[in-house]
Amino acid sequence: MKAILTLTLVVSFGISSFGQDVAKESKVEITASNVVLKEVIKIETVKETEVARVYMFKNSRIKKELAFRTKRNRSKMA
């Protein structure tokens, strides 16, 4: 039922789109003007220094994420 309904909607939309009267393109007058653009692009190479930080604290977020510990890695008490 769903497939039949979808098919009929697609066909009806297709027929209605072909049935529309498309207006012809109207001619537009084109006027040409002489414009000269001058752009100077300066490319500067800047040496960026990036700092990687390693925190000394045990509970720092970065050390925890780099440890890749999951619940299964923890030891279980017998």
How large is the average pLDDT for residues 49-78?
70
Q: Does any domain span residue 47?
A: yes
Q: Which residue has the higher pLDDT, 73 or 29?
A: 29
pTM summary value: 0.27
Model pLDDT, residue 27: 80
Model pLDDT, residue 49: 77
How far apart CA 12 and CA 6 sit, in angstroms, is: 10
| Total structural domains within the chain | 1
Q: Does any domain span residue 58?
A: yes
pLDDT at 70 over 70: yes
Cα-based torsion angle of the residue sequence 23, 24, 29, 33 in order, rounded to the nearest 10 degrees? 90
Residue among 37, 62, 41 nearest 52 (CA): 62
Q: Does any domain span residue 48?
A: yes
**What residues make up the domain containing 63?**
41-70
For residue 57, the 8-state DSSP code is S
Q: Does any domain span residue 26?
A: no
Q: Does any domain span residue 49?
A: yes
How far apart CA 67 and CA 14 sit, in angstroms, is: 59
How large is the average pLDDT for residues 69-77?
75
Q: Does any domain span residue 64?
A: yes
